[in-house]
Amino acid sequence: MNYPFWDVPHIGSGWVIGIIAIFHIMISHFAVGGGLYLPLAERKALREGRADWLEKVRGHSKFFLILTGVFGTVSGVGIWFSIGLANPEGTSTLIHNFVFGWAIEWVLFMVELSTAVVYYYTWGRISNELHLKVGYVYAVASFLTLVIINGILGFMMMPGEPWLAVAGTGQEASRFWQAFFNPTYWPSLLLRSAVCVSLAGIWALVTCSRIDGEAEPRLKTEMVRWSAKWLLPSFLAMPFILVWYLWQVPEAQRALLQLGMSTIGTGAFTQVTRMALLMVISSVTVVGVVYFLAWRLPLSFGRAHALAVLFLGLVVTAAGEYSREMLRKPYVIGRHMYSNGVRKSDVERLNRDGYLPNSPWLPANATVLQRGEGMFRGQCMACHTVDAYRPMKRLMAGRDREAITRLLAILHDSKPDSPYKSFMPPLVGTAEEITALGDYLDSLTAPK
């Protein structure tokens, strides 16, 4: 562990990233989908000469600007802070490998945010054609931000053979394009684009729900229905894209999902399956709610309905991202770096030379328990906490010191038939360090 450890009590650092990320994903995908919604809605209104539509689209663009420009950007920076603290090694790999990718991304963000501002503030001040063009520039720039970040996110799931072949040699950047267009690139770009389009519809329904149905029945009916249509294509295509995506995911990781399927209710490890099911069920509910409440009864579609749809969308997003995280376990960068920052290629060296010499944060005269705690923080706390989320206190409760030794031996050897291999990294370190970890874990539940 070359960096100080960020200890977030009870929930663990992973959930800090998760909570920020879920909001960020809801907003950033809306920033892309909504970027297409606005000019298309404006174009329709202009063609049909509908001043009442234009007024609402303009209102929506204000909401859009505030949500994406303020909450989208702040939560994006929040992700950087949290991943940098929670997983410095992984973050560093992403930065070093994709220097130019990030540079392009920042330029696109600049274009995206400035056109969003120009679009909102020039309603009625410049010609309609020019205003519409600003909208299209925004749409293209924001879609390109997705094109870039999608390559980097996919890389974390599966860097692909060409990059893995040079990983750790210092030549990684020479495989930039192979890493960028990794095996999950296209299905996940399609999947995310579909999510963007649905979110454009979902957020637009929030705006539409505020139109007074008694005062403007025609406007409300038309806008609610037009917005609801945005959910349709993606929900029809989503199952197929999901299958394609899973097809690209490494066999070993996919096995986790299948294992969960076959042991529902009994298996020790079915979260990924449960999450995948939750995702499917809430997606279907979204479609149902939108069809019955928005499409069929547009006039009575109120704010509570819109917020319910939004909430379900949040559940789908959260479940989807959680499944993706679980599919990637035990890696943070597929088959290269484990979630706790240990590189796969370093395992042998760390077993021989020890793990703790890399932790200058540990006092020189640390006691055995302090050394054990150092091991625990560095190697286990990426996924466990002491007392709440995947709590060690509970997991250790039924184990005496001998059972702990056996458990740690299984984790350390990480043999192909180890039941933990598909979701926990191998425990690294010398025999002395592993004993210290065992003593520390034992102390958590003492007295028995």
Among residues 282 and 340, whose Cβ is nearest to ligand HEC? 340
Nearer to ligand HEC, 3 or 180 (CB): 3
Figure out which of the listed residues 390, 393, 401, 415 binds ligand HEC, where binding follows CB under 6 A: 390
Question: Among 280, 195, 182, which residue's Cα sits nearest to residue 239?
Answer: 280
Interface with ligand HEC, residue 268, by CB under 6 A: yes
- C-beta closer to ligand HEC: residue 29 or 329: 329
From candidates 104, 280, 308, 395, binder to ligand HEC by CB under 6 A: 395
Residue 318 to residue 296: CA distance in whole angstroms: 28
- Does 201 bind ligand HEC (CB under 6 A)? Our answer is no
Choices 158-166, 174-182, 357-365, 375-383; region in contact with ligand HEC by CB under 6 A: 375-383
Stretch that binds ligand HEC, among 35-43, 51-59, 235-243, 374-382 (CB under 6 A): 374-382
Residue 254 contacts ligand HEC per CB under 6 A: no
**Nearer CB in complex with ligand HEC: 35/334:** 334
Give the angle 138-324-197 at the CA atoms, nearest 5°: 30
Q: Is 339 in the site for ligand HEC (CB under 6 A)?
A: yes
Closest approach of ligand HEC to the CB of residue 44, in Å: 48
Chain position carrying tokens 């449960």: 274
383 belongs to the binding site for ligand HEC (CB under 6 A): yes
Q: How far is the C-alpha of 311 from the C-alpha of 72, rounded, in Å?
A: 17
* Residue 161 beta carbon to ligand HEC: minimum distance, rounded to whole angstroms: 23
CA 406-408-412 angle, to 5 degrees, is 120
* Residue type at position 3: Y
Instruction: Count Cβ atoms below 10 Å from residue 250 Cβ, excluding itself.
Output: 16
Figure out which of the listed residues 164, 424, 436, 444 binds ligand HEC, where binding follows CB under 6 A.
424
CB 273 within 8 A of CB 264: yes
Q: How far apart are the first and last CA of the chain?
A: 31
Q: Count other Cβ atoms within 10 Å, centred on residue 431.
A: 10
Q: State the residue for tokens 């999510």.
A: 195
For 225-241, give one letter per residue: b (16+ CB within 10 A) or e: ebbbebbbebbeebeeb
Binding string to ligand HEC for residues 289 to 328, with x set by CB under 6 A, is what?
A: ----------------------------------------
Q: Which is nearer to ligand HEC, 143 or 338 (CB)?
A: 338
- Longest CA–CA span in the chain (Å) reads 79
CA-to-CA distance for 446 and 97, rounded, in angstroms? 45
Q: Which is nearer to ligand HEC, 102 or 420 (CB)?
A: 420
Q: Please state the closest distance from residue 433 (CB atom) to ligand HEC, in A.
A: 11
**Residue 181, number of CB atoms within 10 A of its CB:** 15
Nearer to ligand HEC, 190 or 427 (CB): 427
Nearer to ligand HEC, 35 or 159 (CB): 159
* Residue 116 binding ligand HEC, by CB under 6 A: no
Question: Residue 114 or 430: which CB sits closer to ligand HEC?
Answer: 430
Rounded Cα distance between 212 and 201, Å, is: 19
Residue that the structure tokens 């298996």 belong to: 267
Give me the least distance between CB of 429 and ligand HEC, in Å please: 9
Among 104, 308, 407, 435, binds ligand HEC (CB under 6 A): 407
- Quote the CA–CA distance of 432 and 429 in Å, as a whole number: 8
Question: Given the rule CB under 6 A, which residues bind ligand HEC?
Answer: 268-269, 329-330, 339-340, 379-380, 382-384, 390, 395, 407, 411, 423-425, 427
